[in-house]
Structure 1
Amino acid sequence: MATTKYWISIVSKQHVENGIRESICQMCHGKKGPISKLSPGDWLIYYSPRVTMDRKSESVKSFTAIGQIKDDNVYLFKMSENFSAHRRSVSYLPDLKDVEIQPLLDNLSFTKGKGSKWGAIFRRGLFEIDSSDFNLIKSKMVQTNISSLNDRVENNNNDNDNDDNEDDEHLQKKTKKQKINT
């Protein structure tokens, strides 16, 4: 059995969202070479420098999705009359949150000690990382999701507390009114 590998691919946030929706991956302008390096069971993290491919679009600089390669099938998909791209089927982890790269730069083996040149590796389009880097990024994406879930639960509890206080005030006023009337 092949050893699981871990990869980062550089893809715009908009294309990542499309990939998640379609359960596919597509990278490096649809070239076959890079996507053929992936094997079934390999893990793929997307890093999105921008929202769209346009260099003038809003900056993201975050890890935006994690998925696992489903099978060996690399297939060609017709995108338009003049362009076809190679794709793979992927199972994406649900409910992850984007994680900015900046706070992780000193902790990732592929950026640590690179100073202002940390982004050079991201020019490749696809590169392999080790399992500890993968696990760190994944834990931050999951942790962020749990934190936001906890915040939502806490906010709901606060909303419910306010509702309870309003109910208590209403009940007290009603009781006072009844006492006055008796």
Structure 2
Amino acid sequence: MSTSMISGHWLAVASGEHVRIGRSAGFMQVCHGKAGPLRRIGAGDGVVYYSPSNGFGVQDGLKSFTAIGRVRAGDPYRFDMGGGFVPFRRDVDWAAAREVPVGALAGQLDFTAERNWGYQLRFGLCPLGERDFRLIAEAMGAEVDLRLSA
């Protein structure tokens, strides 16, 4: 895959607190640091984070899109966070964007069209359609490159 190609869009799931750490440091992690899901993502792919809550395991009702950006070239890599936790990461160019409650886009997103739309999020990473990516970017006020390759 060419690193200049934008080939896909992804919806990742993590707590708002974890997303904000990754956003400030220019990386993403998914599925408790597993490499497999990160290998599905290509350089130039768009990624949006959905955060059901602010903290891991907390039920505070955040339910918001908390980050949006483009994945940089390079393979997933390990990062030692200390305490024996060495998750895999990918580098991301995060766009300046505001956090937006998913409810603000109610009825507009294809991925929320089904009654049980949240069920797909249990995997921590799922494909996201181009249309949904664009709608979320617009709602977040994000200046993210929306051009797609042919």
1:136 corresponds in structure 2 to 135
In 2: Cα distance, 1:59 partner to 1:78 partner? 31
Aligned equivalents of 1:3 and 1:40: distance in 2?
7
Paired AA for residue 33 in structure 1: G
Contact 2:6 2:43 in 1 (8 A): no
Whole-Å Cα distance in 2 between the matches of residues 98 and 30 of structure 1?
A: 23
**RMSD of equivalent CA atoms:** 1.5
> Separation in 1 of the partners of 2:8 and 2:69?
12
Q: Would you tell me which structure has more helix in proportion to its own residues?
A: 1
CA distance in 2 between counterparts of 1:106 and 1:22 reads 33
Largest Rg, 1 or 2 = 1
Residue-by-residue CA offset, 1:59-104 (whole Å, 9 max, x unaligned) = 210001101111122110112232110001111001x111111232
Under a length normalisation based on structure 2, what TM-score does the superposition of the two structures give? 0.86
Q: 8 Å contact 2:6–2:46 — kept in the other structure? A: no
2:117 matched residue in structure 1: 118
| Higher relative contact order (CA closer than 8 Å, sequence separation 6+) | 2
Question: Using the alignment, how far apart are the partners of 1:3 and 1:90 within structure 2?
Answer: 13
* Count of aligned positions: 139
1:47 paired to 2:46:
no
How do residues 91-110 of structure 1 correspond to structure 2 at under 5 angstroms?
A: 91-94=93-96, 96-110=97-111
| 2:147 paired residue number | none
Flag as ranges the 4+ runs of structure 1 deviating above 3 A: none
Unpaired segments ≥5 residues, structure 2: 143-150
Identity percentage of aligned residues: 34
Q: Aligned to 1:68, what secondary structure does the other structure show?
A: strand
